[in-house]
Amino acid sequence: MGASPGTEKRPAGGFDGAADDLFERLRGYEGRPAAAAAYGPDPVNTVMIRHWCEALGHPVPPDGSAPATMLQVWTMAGPAGGGTGRAGPYDELLRALDEAGYTSVVATDCEQEYLRPLRPGEEIGFDAVIESVSPRKTTKLGTGYFVTTRMEVRADGEPAGTHRFRILKYRPAHGPGAGRHARDTESEDSKSQDTASPQGKPALGKPHDSRPQAGRPLRPRPVVNRDNAGFWEGVARGELLHQRCDDCGTPRFPWLPGCNACGSPKWTAVASAGHGTVYSYVVMHHPPFPAFDPPYAVALIELDEGVRIVSNLTGVALDGIRIGMPVELEFLRVDDELVLPVFRAAAGGGV
């Protein structure tokens, strides 16, 4: 977050150097509007602020203003659509990609810059521009183009922040369901591989191995940036790290550059003992996605240290998952380059 105005980071990925007439056509959309003179469907309001804070498990800012990371929320339309002010050139660009066969889309990252707090009652206006279209890139998901838009957000007519949003429009490397690996049956042997250190922290040691067979698709890579690099460095060491504010002591996750309770930029990384409970969960059936084999469980885990993390839940029948069920951390090696923290039902916790 917090990229300087006028800077642009080109997404990484293999460039397909062949002549690309489509790219030349797409470049013609750079600098054209993606949204013009648009307004959010609702003014900044205390109800949405409260719901946001409750969902994340954090208190409402003391002055009653909206958390800074809600910047985009006030610009978004509801499920019925409409009211986004999306401009014709952006629709044309997406249609050109669809017609060329780049029909899949995934959001890759965003960058935000905050100029001032947003307060209840303020009307949110915004304009957006198509900032850049990358050359054709070959990624693990498939081949396509990164499209970056830049939105300038106003509150009651005053500049309030900037929101850059990047998507990948791509042609999948594998058709739906192709190359899916077999469901993880997780033998009892995996339990002995994930041992705990003498300090009670799960040790990476020999993480449970779920590497796909040769030729099968890999999982998408996590986006690692300056704000969360320490978290992924901890995972590589076999630690699940969250942040604790040095000034007020509030724990937080995911990683952020400042405390959302008191605003302090000072913090310490703290390793979780790896114990928690299922706060909420969903069983994913659709859509199918390369490298994932539905149905599988995605859970919001509340750790004993007071923070929550979204992760996969393993080692329990899908119909046996329960809210409040105790879980334990383990590390899953999904391929030669990637290890992820996941959770399994604690002994006696599953059904």
pLDDT at 172: 81
pLDDT in tens, 238-248: 999 999 999 99
How far is CA 9 from its chain centroid? 18
Q: What residues does 297 pair with on adjacent strands?
A: 283, 313
Predicted confidence (pLDDT) at residue 18 exceeds the cutoff of 50: no
pLDDT in tens, 77-120: 876 655 567 788 999 999 999 999 999 998 888 899 999 999 99
The top-scoring range by mean pLDDT among 168-182, 209-223, 271-285 is 271-285
CA-nearest of 110, 126, 102, 204 to 164 is 110
Q: What angle do CA 42, 34, 123 make, to 5 degrees?
A: 20
Q: What is the 3-state secondary structure (H, E, C) of 42-84?
A: CCCCHHHHHHHHHHHCCCCCCCCCECHHHCCHHHCCCCCCCCC
Poorest-pLDDT segment among 107-121, 155-169, 337-351: 337-351
Predicted confidence (pLDDT) at residue 141 exceeds the cutoff of 70: yes
Predicted confidence (pLDDT) at residue 19 exceeds the cutoff of 80: no
136, 144 Cβ separation under 8 angstroms: yes
- Residues 138-161 have a mean pLDDT of 93
Predicted confidence (pLDDT) at residue 2 exceeds the cutoff of 70: no
3-state secondary structure of 200: coil
pLDDT category at 190 given cuts 50, 70, 90 is: very low
Predicted confidence (pLDDT) at residue 7 exceeds the cutoff of 90: no
pLDDT in tens, 113-134: 999 999 999 999 999 999 999 9
Report if pTM > 0.85.
no
Residue 50 corresponds to which tokens in the numbers above?
């409260």
15, 135 Cβ separation under 8 angstroms: yes
pLDDT in tens, 293-338: 888 999 999 999 999 999 999 889 998 999 999 999 999 998 888 9
Look at phi and psi of residue 60 and say left if phi exceeds 0, alpha if psi is from -120 to 50, else beta: beta
- A 10 A CB-CB count for 177 gives 11
How far is CA 67 from its chain centroid? 18
- A 10 A CB-CB count for 140 gives 14
